[in-house]
Structure 1
Amino acid sequence: MDEVIFFDTLRQGLWISVKISMPILAVALVVGLAIGLFQALTSVQEMTLTFVPKLAAILGVFWATMGFMTQTLTSFFTDQLVPLMIGG
C-alpha cells in the first residue's frame, strides 16, 4: 500500500472520529459549565450533582445521534476501507 493512501485513509478516519464524537463532547461541556455555574452561585459542592446530570445528558445525546454515528461509520467502511481491502 502506498504511503499517501495510508495517511489519507488515516486522516479521514481521524476526522470521522472527531465528527461523531463532537455532539457528545459539546453537550458534556455545556452541561458541565451550567452545573459548575450553578454550584458556584449556590455554594453547593456535591460530587453527584456534577456526575449524574452530565451522564444523563451524554446518554440522551448518544441515543439521539446513534443513527448518525452508525451511518457515518458504515459509509466510511463501505466507501473507503472495503475498496482498499479488495485492492480496487
Structure 2
Amino acid sequence: MDNPVKPVQTLTLCMGSSCFSKGNNLNAAAIEAFIRENDLTESISMQGCLCEQHCKNGPNITIDGELIQGVQPGMIHDLLAHKIRR
C-alpha cells in the first residue's frame, strides 16, 4: 500500500525591517534547521513576506494562517514541535 501524500503546511516569516531586526533573521535559520533535522522538507513550505502591520508585537510568524507574535529564536523548536503535523 502506498503512503498517502502528507498535506503541506505553510510557514510564513515576516521579513519586514522591524520583525527582521527583532529576531526573524535568526528565526529563519532555526526553522530551516528544524525542518532539515526532522526530515520535513516535503511537508513544510517556508516563505517570507514583507510587513504584516503587526510590528509592535513582532517578530511574527504565521503557521497555516495562524499569526504567532513575539517569536524569539529560543522558542522555535518547541513552537514547531507543537504546531507542525507529522
Q: Is TM (by shorter chain) over 0.5?
A: no
Give the alignment's TM-score, normalised by structure 1.
0.32
Larger Rg: 1
Give the alignment's TM-score, normalised by structure 2.
0.32
Flag the structure with higher strand content.
Answer: 2
